[in-house]
Amino acid sequence: MTFSGTHLADLQAPLLGVNIDHVATVRNARGGVFPDPVRAALLAVEAGADIVTFHLREDRRHIRDEDVARLKQAIAVPLNFEAAVTDEMLAIIEQTRPEHVCLVPERRQEVTTEGGLDVVGQFGRMQDACARLAAAGSRVSLFIGADPAQIEAAARAGAPCIELHTGALANAWWAGDAALLQSELARLREGVRLGRSLGLRTHAGHGLALSDDLPDGRSPSEPSSTALVAALPDVGELHIGHALIGRAVFVGLRQAIADFKAEAIRARHA
């Protein structure tokens, strides 16, 4: 399969989408203007982010509407706008016209995006959203679990891309559960393979981290969740937020981005 003239397997490493939501989380904790997620996004681009990712949630708990407008004005790399499949969000996306959109499930009470979309169960709605956003000029990705039925449904719904949810894999990695980690990795690998065979550009994200941020007592030399996923040759993009912004507390945002990018490149060439 080709995408923008490039065979996915020829890409040197997955592109890195830096999710800036949690800069806004810290800002909103005091209700003011600092730290500014747009400033973080500008620095992220300088530091090598390929894509700037953000999630405008229904409750606006982190990114707000005015941030979206400012990101659109300020950021030169593609924006990846994550949003729930609601009329309100689809209208904002049509108005914003980001290069990329990732449609996600959203439940008000959840701490983060806990599962993937049910494309099988909400097929018509997903198909309509894909058509509507493609007509607005955005490349659409559906955030789903690595479940063959959901992947096939995403292809039938007309999505050019899928993002496979790595939350369960990441949780197993943080917990040091080697057996679960291996089974989640195998499931992800099969999902990526199926995505490719259906002509879908396949991305991955959620919970990915680096090994030297593991708690004391765990070896920084064990493969990171980021490396395990980046090593899969047909993963075209990684979208990483929480552990990257968390790492930035200790090493700075510029260094954190450089570290995640280097990890992805190393994993792809190992």
Stretch that binds ligand PXP, among 2-10, 25-33, 124-132, 234-242 (CB under 6 A): 234-242
The residue sitting closest to ligand PXP, measured at its beta carbon, is: 241
Stretch that binds ligand PXP, among 84-92, 131-139, 200-208, 249-257 (CB under 6 A): 200-208
- 206 binds ligand PXP, rule: CB under 6 A: yes
Both tokens of 175, joined, read 């917990």
Q: Which is nearer to ligand PXP, 50 or 163 (CB)?
A: 163
User: In angstroms, what is the minimal distance from the CB of 266 to ligand PXP?
Assistant: 19
Q: Which of 209, 172, 215, 165 is nearest to 188 (CA)?
A: 165
Out of 22, 165, 203, 206, which one is annotated catalytic? 206
CB 245 to ligand PXP: min, Å: 8
Is 163 a residue that touches ligand PXP (CB under 6 A)? yes
User: Which DSSP string corresponds to 188-217?
Assistant: HHHHHHHHHHTT-EEEEESS---GGGSPTT
Binding mask 69-108 for ligand PXP (x = CB under 6 A): -------------x-------------------x-x----
Q: Is 203 a catalytic residue?
A: no
Q: What positions carry a catalytic annotation? A: 55, 82, 206
Residues near ligand PXP (CB under 6 A):
19, 21, 55, 82, 102, 104, 112-113, 143, 163, 205-208, 239-243
